[in-house]
Amino acid sequence: MSHETYIVHMDLSAMPTVFSSHHNWFSATLESITTTSTTVTSSKLVYSYTNAINGFTALLSPSELEFIKNTPGYLYAIKDTTVELDTTHSIQFLGLSSKAGAWPVGSYGKDVIIGVVDTGIWPESESFNDVGMSSVPSKWKGECEDGFQFNSSLCNKKLIGARYFNKGLLSNHPNLTLSMNSARDTDGHGTHTSSTATGGCVKGASYFGYGTGTAIGVAPHARVAMYKAVWEEGPGLRTLHNGTPWVLTVAASTIDREFTGMLTLGNGVSVMGLTLYPENSSLSQVLMSFVGACHKDFDSKEVYRKIVVCFDSNNTLLDQYYNVEGRNVSGAIFITNSTDVELFMQSSYPVLFVDLDSGNTVMDYLKKVNNGKAKASMKFHGTRLGTKPAPRVASYSSRGPSNSCPVVLKPDITAPGSLILAAWPDSLSPAVYIKNDLGTGFKKLYSKFNILSGTSMSCPHASGVAALLKTAHPNWTPSAIRSAMMTTSDIQDNTFKPIQDIGDYNNPSTPLAMGSGHVAPNRALNPGLIYDINPQDYVNLLCGLNYTKIQIQAITRSSNVNCSNPSLDINYPSFIAYFQINNTSTNKVIREFKRTVTYVGVGRSMFMAKVTTVGGLNVSVSPEKLSFRSMNEKKSYKLRIEGSYTMEDEVVYGYLSWMDSKRKFVVRSPIVATSLPMTGLTF
């Protein structure tokens, strides 16, 4: 008799008083099958549950299942099926798992409150459902503010705070009429970012069929407090360039997932292309027309109701895409190696973007078929996982150094930011498609989820990881959490080669693009050593940067400003050295840094320094060994960079790693040396 795994939901209120726990009750229920059956049973308790559900998982035959259905407390049973991959696949790409690591150790971010300053929130989104969450922590002192189409009752145990701030905006523009004077999101950005950081589990999520599965945030048990301070009618997004040393600055990178469509040529050969065309349609055996340089003028009659093939040879994809959109075509194939394909994937007409290799396959077919006879079919809504190499730093991700604080290497780290699927207000249309034969009318499509790219998507991933670390280490300071994330990050992709930079022709990424590396939540739980920073250290840095006392008071909110020890060297988990050259320079230039590390391991440990080559510079560490006897012990060291004033390369980099004798810990920091000027930067 065949057996299958079932998830059985039970009513705990029906548990007899003779049982000391639900687990004993479920076990006894299964054991009773043996005593009442004349046949040998193989029923087996797999799991018992009291958190997400009340019940158990067991291996049952059909007759055993029927027996269970007649036992006291039985509610219903469902057959255990293969779990769908997370729609926010970045969760899996980060290595987060319910079995071990940052999720269970960090209690999924339980009771950590993540504050989000953004465009507001859509409280009705399922990602902010509070089912199963405990009461709001007593430490919470915030509020849920009433506003236009936003009642305070919309907050719950998940969305515990929502406020909106626009008095500054209105004072500058007194005649401005706000479309939504409340914390409600009319842009979608805030809903997307907050659900990425802390969204709860939502099954059946997708973007018009792309990435179908279960959506979940990085810290799903954390709370969210939304502060709407970005308005469609005010300053635009992406106007803040963040180099502040006391915050975490996050670059954006790809994950190992692509959204695809399939082009099947008339000879039966198929090639895959990138797309996010939303409409639920496909094209079958449509005539093809090769145009080539589609940004130039061409005869619309020649491409009428055909699949146009365009070749992007001079980085003219923008002009080509919109030029074709204005013609009445059935679809388009863009052969391109552009780094900006993501910007056009959510197209309004059927489009596939294929690389040069696949493009050659298409061109070979077109050359072999008589003119006017070539045909092809297009299908959409594909999702491909496990793509390589990944991660890669996105082309749009901002590079360092920072104008505001060039002596601190920025960004700090990179995290998933490309094509991230997360919650979306269902009143906003995230996509349109051309709906009439004239090619001029557009139809809006609606979805509860949307796919966006940007550092705005990578930041909430890092915030969620920080929430997990805060739960696991409640006494750690923000700088300790940042340090743990930076020094345990990955500098290799899933092919075990250096992470590439799409914006630099897929060359190995420098720390000016990816910071210390790609965040690795599970390793960050136990970093071995941390670089901690106290408030006075930041004040010393501001003093060294020649901030006035009044300016520092505005930042610190304290009238007691002590600038007796100004310094441009702060206890940061990274290094950047400038080699500005002038006519009085000697043959050698020396830069020195002092760092103090805190041991966060258990028992005695010895760490040894290892430095990779940094261009042609001479880098040394003193001392080369650090010995620790107990947790929280601190030790200091100096890093010295010696170079020639004739430094040939504009930027060189390497790494300092502190490794313990048992090789349990590798505490890595990037080292950048540059001949760029410290001021007047244009990055």
Burial class (CB in 10 A: 0-12, 13-18, 19+), 636: exposed
Model pLDDT, residue 678: 76
Identified catalytic residue from 22, 189, 461, 518: 189
How far, CA to CA in Å, does 327 sit from each of 90, 288, 336? 37, 14, 20
pLDDT band at 238 (very low <50, low <70, confident <90, very high): very low
pLDDT-above-90 percentage for the chain: 63
Model pLDDT, residue 556: 83
Q: Between 532 and 302, where is the model more confident?
A: 532
How far, CA to CA in Å, does 333 sit from each of 352, 355, 383? 5, 10, 19
For the range 321-326, what are the long-range contacts, defined as Cβ-Cβ under 8 Å and sequence gap of 24 or more? 321/347, 321/351, 323/294, 323/295, 323/296, 324/294, 324/349, 325/349, 325/434, 325/439, 326/439
Stretch 237-255: mean pLDDT, rounded? 77
Across 392-396, 430-434, 516-520, the highest mean pLDDT is recorded for 516-520
pLDDT in tens, 161-205: 999 987 766 655 667 777 788 999 988 999 999 999 999 999 999
Model pLDDT, residue 335: 96
Burial class (CB in 10 A: 0-12, 13-18, 19+), 378: buried
Would you call 118 a catalytic residue per the annotation? yes
pTM metric for this prediction:
0.84
Identified catalytic residue from 86, 118, 312, 537: 118
Tokens 């003779």 correspond to 18
Would you call 312 a catalytic residue per the annotation? no
Report the distance separating Cα 409 and Cα 413, nearest Å: 10
Among 17-21, 146-150, 631-635, which is the least confidently predicted range?
17-21
Residue type, 650: E
Dihedral sign from CA coordinates of 302, 308, 311, 317: positive
Burial class (CB in 10 A: 0-12, 13-18, 19+), 565: exposed
Model pLDDT, residue 438: 58
Report the distance separating Cα 1 and Cα 209, nearest Å: 38
Identified catalytic residue from 456, 463, 483, 489: 456
Report the distance separating Cα 571 and Cα 246, nearest Å: 11
Report the distance separating Cα 87 and Cα 295, nearest Å: 35
pLDDT in tens, 415-448: 999 999 999 999 999 998 887 655 568 889 999 9
* Domain annotation for the chain: domains and CATH numbers: 4-79 (3.30.70.80), 90-240+412-431+446-474 (3.40.50.200), 257-385 (3.50.30.30), 500-674 (2.60.40.2310)
Tokens at 86, concatenated: 């997370």
Stretch 98-121: mean pLDDT, rounded? 94
pLDDT in tens, 344-355: 999 999 999 999
Model pLDDT, residue 525: 97
